[in-house]
Each structure stands twice: as structure tokens, then as C-alpha cells.
Amino acid sequence: MIDVQRLRVLRAVAEYGSFNRAAAALHLTPSAVSQQVAALERSVGAEVVARSTRGVTLTRAGRIMVGAAESVAAELEHARQQVAALGTGRTQLTVATFTSGGRLLLPAAFTRLTKAHPGTVLHVREGEPEDTLPLVRQGAVDLALAYRFDGPLPVGPGPRSGLEWTPLLEDPLHVVLPLGHRLAHQTALDLTDLAAEPWVLGCLKTEVYLRRFAEQAGFDPDIRGTTTDYFFARSLVAAGMGISLIPSIALAPGMPGLSTVPVKSPGPVRHIGVATISGRDRPHVTTLIQALREQATRHDGP
């Protein structure tokens, strides 16, 4: 029989990349972590980590076991929540979300959920997809409103195995310029038209996309600032600091003194959807996803 505690230790080793850092996170000694991993290897009959002077990496068997560990952790958390609900008669639902998507979609969806299932206790955790998707796999949250720039979330075998992806909407990025800019009244722009412009961006992932595109197009973007807030980025554009790339759902509320211009196809797009644990039927989650899909259809763009 495979020991659950050993699986927990392996998950920490996979997350932190070394026995020492995993031991610190688990409040164990490095020797204890090493012994737990060795015992797990004996129980499964295969090496689960490859040890080197630079740390440890998962073997193929180790990746399989970490996937199993995350499934076990999710099931245990789900069972804990069900038991807790027995005493109160109220279902707890925890939703993770990124800021702009949550602001657009969640309030109305929550209203519909609580009408359909009175007494539901809602919790919200804000975070970027790279932080919230692991929480879904671990059972720490029931679903995550998330996005990707490079297409819908891949599901199936791999680092996101065990997740089910429900697409909600495509969220194209737009160029935001001061109203008096020479290109402010164009019907569409190619990013190469803006090669000489200074930029202020509202998301690190937008900067990564812009730099990747610029490298392919042969120019080096002049990035004057990167924030974690699209409204702040737009205010800097209005102040004349530069131009920006902003997703359509982050363009509300409007701001005076700005012009919004679409990017010529194929332009950058965020693919927004909901990630949940595969194969788990929960009426509250189903109701919330349906409400999110209906709310997404009401988004008409900037």
C-alpha cells in the first residue's frame, strides 16, 4: 500500500526542486524527506526522483506519482468539505480568479448561483492562472477562472492532467493610445506600426507576448513601465507616458482622453475559461459554470 504522507512529501520535492527546500516547507529534516522518498520508491518498485548536485528532478515514474498525489489530495479535501457540510447543511464553494475576468463575470454569476442554491457559502481567491490552476488540482479551490495567451488550456496527460477546461470567451487585446496620437483614429493597427513607440503595460504576460512578437518582427520594444493593473496602465497612457496593449474586458470603465484601436488579425488574444477537476459532478459547480457561460455571452467587447 502506498503511504499518503510519502506522496505528500514527493509533491513538496517536486514543487521545491530539492530535499532541503521541501524539508523546510514541511517542517521536516532533509534526512527525513530523503527517507520518505526512498520508502516510496521501495513501495512502487521504481525511482521517482533523479538526484544530482544541482537538486532533484522527477523521473517518469515520479511524474505519475505526483499526479496521483494531487488526485489523492483533491479527493481528501473534497471529502473534508462534504463532512463539514454535514454539520452546517451549507455547501462551501471556493473560486479562484484573475482580476479582470472576475470583475466582469463573477458578480452576476454568483447572484444566479445563490438564487439556485440558497445558503451556499462563497469564497474567492485572487491570483494568476499559474498559481490558481495547481490549487484546483490539489482540491484547495473548486474551480478557477483562468486564461491563456497561446490557446485554450491543454488538458489530458501533462502538467495539468486531471483538469477539465470549459471555454467562456476570447478576449482580444487592443492598442490604447492618447486621443491626440497620430494613429488614434485608425480602424486597426499592426503592431509593427508601433515599433518606435514607448510602451506601458498592465501585465507581465503582455510584456512577454509583445517582446516575442517584436523579436519576430525585428524590433526591440521601448517598454517604459510594467504594472499589475490595467487601469493604472491606461492612466499612464492618458498622462502621455506611452501606449499600451489592453484586453477588451479590462477596458471598462472607460477613461477620457484615450483611443482604443483593434490589432489587425491575427492579433493577440486571451482565451478565458474555467478549470475544474475532471470527472466530478457537483451541482453547485455546474450551476456556476453555466452562469459564467451566460454572462460571457453578454460581453460585447470594448
Instruction: Give residue-wise pLDDT tens across range 59-89.
Output: 888 888 887 777 777 667 666 666 666 555 6
Q: Domain spans of the chain?
A: 4-68, 70-169+270-297, 171-268
Q: Give pLDDT, residue 160.
A: 43
Q: From CA 187, how far away is CA 29, in angstroms rounded?
A: 62
Please identify which residue in the block is written with the cell numbers 470603465: 253
- Please, what's the b/e burial string for 7-39 (b: 16 or more CB within 10 A of its CB; e: otherwise)? bebbbbbbebeebebbbeebebeeeebbebbee
The DSSP output letter for 94 is E
Residues 6+ apart with CB under 8 A from 1: 43
CATH code of the domain occupying 171-268: 3.40.190.10
- Dihedral over Cα of 33, 38, 41, 46: its sign: positive
- Average pLDDT for the chain: 86
Task: Give the span between the Cα atoms of 221 and 207, in whole angstroms.
Answer: 9
Question: The domain 70-169+270-297 belongs to what CATH superfamily?
Answer: Periplasmic binding protein-like II (3.40.190.10)
Question: Who wins on pLDDT, 273 or 205?
Answer: 273
The DSSP bridge partners found for residue 260 are 176
Q: In terms of Cα–Cα distance, which of 167, 115, 158 is closest to 271? A: 167
Predicted local distance difference test score (pLDDT) of residue 156: 47
For the ranges 20-34, 82-96, 250-264, the maximum mean pLDDT occurs at 250-264
What's the mean pLDDT in 227-241?
93
Distance between CA atoms of residues 102 and 72, nearest Å: 29
The answer to whether the 70-169+270-297 and 171-268 domains have the same CATH topology is: yes
Q: How far apart are CA 249 and CA 205, in angstroms?
A: 16
b/e code 166-186 from CB counts within 10 Å (16+ = b): eebbebbbbbbbbeebeebeb
- Residue 132 has a CB neighbour count (10 Å cut-off) of 22
3 state DSSP class of 44: helix
- CATH (residue range 4-68): 1.10.10.10
Give per-residue pLDDT as tens, 153-202. 655 444 445 788 999 999 999 999 999 999 999 999 998 999 999 999 98
Continuous segment of H or E residues that includes residue 199: strand 198-201
